[in-house]
Amino acid sequence: MDTPAARPPFLQRLGTFIRFSHTVFALPFALISMLVAGEGRVTSRAFGWILLSAAAARTVAMCFNRLVDWEIDKRNPRTEGRHKLVSKSQAWLTLVLSGALTFFATYNLNSLCFGLTPLMLVILCFYSLTKRFTAFSHLFLGIALAVAPAGAWVAIKASLWALEPFVLGFAVLAWTFGFDLIYSTLDSDFDRQHGLFSFPSRYGIPAALRLAKSLHVIAALTFIAFGWVARLGPGYSVACVITLGALLWEHRLAATLDPGQINRAFFQINALVSMTLLAGTLIDFKAWRFLSF
């Protein structure tokens, strides 16, 4: 007699519910900003609190997203299983605890970080509401991810009076705006049928893909500009070349309009972009420290 499969542990289900694996999109840019702000030297204490605040703040945003889209996700074939992973009460409890952890972490960084925490959480959560009134919800997701390098810079410098976090933040915004346009083509029919706003549902998939290409050209150029502004070296330069190749590959896959290919473009290629740029930055700062020794 067959026995029912054991239900996965709560933390495993929660990780799937909030797509914890997608942390690789924003976190590497927070770490890049942290390294540049600290000129390659960051204390383990600051590093730990930055990691905690980034993970906790993202959990707040994702729980809020799932809660406000609870009924919508039930009707969407792509997301219909999400509400079965955790209950609403568990999602709310996770949101509240993660919010408290975010404040605790930023308090242990510096007063400016702590003071900006409410604004950061509002920006992160506001994206989830935008699909109800604007076709440019993807732009707001870009703004939300662009918070990561700005927040890490403040964590190290206790100031935002610098060009580097804004250049990197703009690059992240354009990159995110572009890849979310590609990903949202999967839901264009559903969004149109249910009166939701998204660029592909309002202006068509071909227009969305053209805009995504333009945004990724801007992102690639701005990533290069960041390397120049931050005085990064050959490691980061090579990473920019790989990033350009990855973005070209992403648009080649997106042009097929095949859901499996688009899913691969969304996660694997964009994870490659963020992790490659982080690796290039790490290589450069390792070489810089060796030379200064």
The domain segmentation of the chain, as residue ranges, is 19-285
Check: CB of residue 220 under 8 Å from CB of residue 244: yes
Give, to the nearest 10 degrees, the angle between helix 205-229 and helix 234-254. Answer: 180
- The pLDDT score that the predictor gives to residue 84 is 85
Dihedral sign for Cα atoms in the order 272, 219, 283, 32: negative
Which pLDDT score, from 0 to 100, does residue 79 have?
84
Amino acid at 232: L
Distances (CA, A) of 16 to 23, 116, 184, 227: 12, 29, 19, 34
Q: How far apart are CA 21 and CA 267, in angstroms?
A: 9
pLDDT at position 11 is 87
Torsion of CA 92, 98, 101, 107, to 10 degrees: -100
Tallying the residues shown for the chain, one arrives at 293
Span 19-285: which CATH code? 1.10.357.140
Q: Could you say which residues of the chain have pLDDT below 50?
A: 1-4, 287-288, 290-293
Q: What is the pLDDT of residues 248-283, one digit of tens each?
A: 999 999 999 898 888 877 888 999 999 999 999 999
| Residue closest to 17 by CA, chosen among 77, 75, 76, 61 | 61
Whole-number Å distance between alpha carbons of 39 and 34: 8
Query: Is 290 buried (19+), middle (13-18) or exposed (0-12) by CB count in 10 A?
Result: exposed
Q: Which residues lie closer than 8 Å to 34 by C-beta, 6 or more apart? A: 42, 46, 47, 50, 152, 153, 155, 156
CA angle 251, 176, 165 (to 5 degrees): 130
Per-residue model confidence (pLDDT) at position 8: 85
pLDDT at 5: 57
Please report, to the nearest 10 degrees, the dihedral formed by the alpha carbons of residues 24, 27, 31, 34 taken in order: 170
